[in-house]
């Protein structure tokens, strides 16, 4: 799809990705850039993205306090560091054996070490692990805002602000503000994708490698970048493309190292998968079984009914998004999302954390950003759906209810 025959969005093929002044052309050196002031301080798009980031954090804190009375008396940091955050902190402080007396320490291999390594590195400066996780998300989400704006603009000029707003107002945006790993992952994954679109494959590989230390999704990201490298004009077919190809194997290294490490601890080469199955029921089933199990479970615990409905809706969105990307021949984006489709819909006995994973589906937020510049009514309708759900999830998470 084109606008005036010159602009492209997610409906174009990877070979036709728009070239901007920031793109790196094979064989052409970049114009030297000033180190100060940095671009995010002077660029209007970056500043607007950071304003959206700031406003979303202020709104999050306001609603967190409004939701508290009568539902929780937990301290501020405790409301922001539940469940996964506690596990990251435990790994950072005690390793994968967990703290003494931790009854379910056997589940810890399910959490990749990147977040915990960063917490441990900051421990000499900030003693409270809970505060560290919140600060990591705070800084990382600022990087995400700027990177998302730039990435969306590279697809469709004028869409950056809307893509950022869509992400930070999305139903599960609570996890961008709390001590979870989504912000850190996206702060590495989105720049990796942007570097790849600009032909900076080595930088893309390094960012994807770091993303893989944070979440298994980093491996899916690397697969998408590999497909982009194979079909893009500034990839394998460009001058020096063959020499850059080995860099794209780098994101697999953390997986190999982590697998060997967990084997040395447990004697199980598939410790990650074993733990996922034992603690979360993640094993291969037929797609209809996963759906029916989730549907039936939605009536078992009334407090989780809405959460399971959200999981089913998120699964439908993911499947539709993948189909649209295939129809539009967006092969790199499809390569990134297809493993998630298979993982969530066939490798789990019920739907779990699909909604939270939607934060990492940046093609979705870019598409919404592009849509906002063309069909404003779709944008407003999307906000009308997302914002109330986000507010409910913020209130539920910060008061101790499970939301994914």
pLDDT, one tens digit per residue, over 283-308 is 999 999 999 999 999 888 888 899 99
Q: Binning pLDDT at 50, 70 and 90, where does residue 212 land?
A: very high
pLDDT for 304 equals 87
Q: How far apart are CA 248 and CA 267, in angstroms?
A: 29
Structure tokens at 205: 């590989």
Structure tokens at 107: 């589940």
Average pLDDT, the chain: 91
pLDDT for 26 equals 35
Cβ atoms of 221 and 210 closer than 8 Å: no
The percentage of residues in the chain with a pLDDT greater than 90, rounded to a whole number, is 86
Q: Binning pLDDT at 50, 70 and 90, where does residue 33 land?
A: low
pLDDT for 2 equals 38
Q: Which residues are paired to 7 by β-bridges? A: 3
Cβ atoms of 79 and 72 closer than 8 Å: yes
Q: Is the pLDDT of residue 130 over 50?
A: yes
Task: Tell me the mean pLDDT in the region 257-265.
Answer: 97
pTM score: 0.91
Rounded to the nearest 5 degrees, what angle is found at the Cα of 15, between the Cα atoms of 14 and 18? 80
Cβ atoms of 315 and 382 closer than 8 Å: no
pLDDT for 325 equals 97
Task: Tell me the mean pLDDT in the region 275-287.
Answer: 93
Task: Tell me the mean pLDDT in the region 306-320.
Answer: 96
pLDDT for 25 equals 36
Q: Is the pLDDT of residue 27 over 70?
A: no
pLDDT for 32 equals 53
pLDDT for 31 equals 46
The CB density around residue 19, as the number of other CB atoms within 10 Å, is 16
pLDDT, tens digit, 9 for 90 and up, residues 90-125: 999 999 999 999 999 999 999 999 999 999 999 999
Q: Is the pLDDT of residue 18 over 60?
A: no
Which helix H or strand E contains 359, and what residues bound it?
none
User: How far apart, in Å, are the Cα atoms of 207 and each of 61, 194, 195, 255, 341?
Assistant: 30, 10, 9, 15, 23
């Amino acid at each position: 799809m084109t606008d005036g025959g010159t602009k492209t969005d997610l409906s174009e093929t990877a070979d036709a990705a728009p070239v901007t002044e920031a793109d790196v052309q094979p064989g052409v050196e970049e114009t030297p850039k000033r180190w100060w002031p940095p671009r995010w301080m002077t660029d209007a798009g970056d500043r607007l993205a950071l304003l959206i980031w700031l406003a979303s954090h202020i709104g999050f804190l306001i609603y967190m306090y409004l939701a508290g009375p009568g539902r929780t008396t937990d301290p501020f940091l405790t409301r922001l560091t539940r469940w996964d955050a506690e596990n990251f902190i435990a790994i950072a402080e005690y390793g994968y054996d967990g703290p003494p007396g931790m009854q379910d320490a056997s589940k810890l291999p399910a959490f990749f070490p990147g977040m915990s390594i960063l917490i441990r590195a900051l421990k000499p400066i900030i003693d409270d692990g809970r505060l560290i996780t919140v600060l990591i998300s705070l800084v990382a989400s600022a990087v995400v805002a700027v990177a998302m704006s730039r990435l969306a603009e590279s697809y469709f000029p004028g869409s950056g602000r809307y893509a950022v707003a869509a992400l930070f107002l999305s139903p599960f945006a609570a996890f961008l503000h709390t001590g979870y790993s989504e912000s850190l992952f996206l702060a590495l994954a989105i720049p990796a994708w942007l570097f790849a679109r600009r032909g900076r494959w080595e930088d893309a590989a390094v960012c994807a490698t770091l993303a893989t230390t944070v979440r298994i999704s980093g491996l899916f990201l690397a697969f998408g970048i590999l497909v982009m490298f194979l079909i893009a004009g500034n990839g394998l077919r460009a001058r020096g493309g063959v020499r850059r190809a080995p860099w794209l194997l780098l994101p697999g290294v953390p997986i190999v190292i982590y697998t060997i490490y967990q084997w040395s601890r447990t004697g199980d080469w598939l410790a990650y998968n074993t733990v996922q199955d034992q603690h979360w029921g993640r094993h291969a089933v037929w797609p209809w079984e996963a759906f029916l199990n989730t549907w039936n479970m939605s009536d078992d615990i009334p407090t989780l009914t809405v959460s399971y409905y959200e999981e089913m809706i998120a699964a439908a969105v993911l499947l539709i998004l993948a189909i649209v990307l295939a129809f539009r021949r967006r092969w790199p984006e499809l390569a990134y999302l297809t493993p998630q489709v298979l993982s969530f819909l066939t490798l789990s006995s019920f739907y779990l954390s699909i909604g939270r994973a939607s934060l990492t589906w940046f093609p979705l937020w870019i598409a919404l950003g592009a849509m906002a510049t063309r069909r404003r009514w779709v944008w407003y309708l999307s906000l009308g759906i997302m914002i109330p759900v986000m507010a409910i999830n913020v209130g539920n998470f910060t008061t101790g209810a499970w939301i994914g």
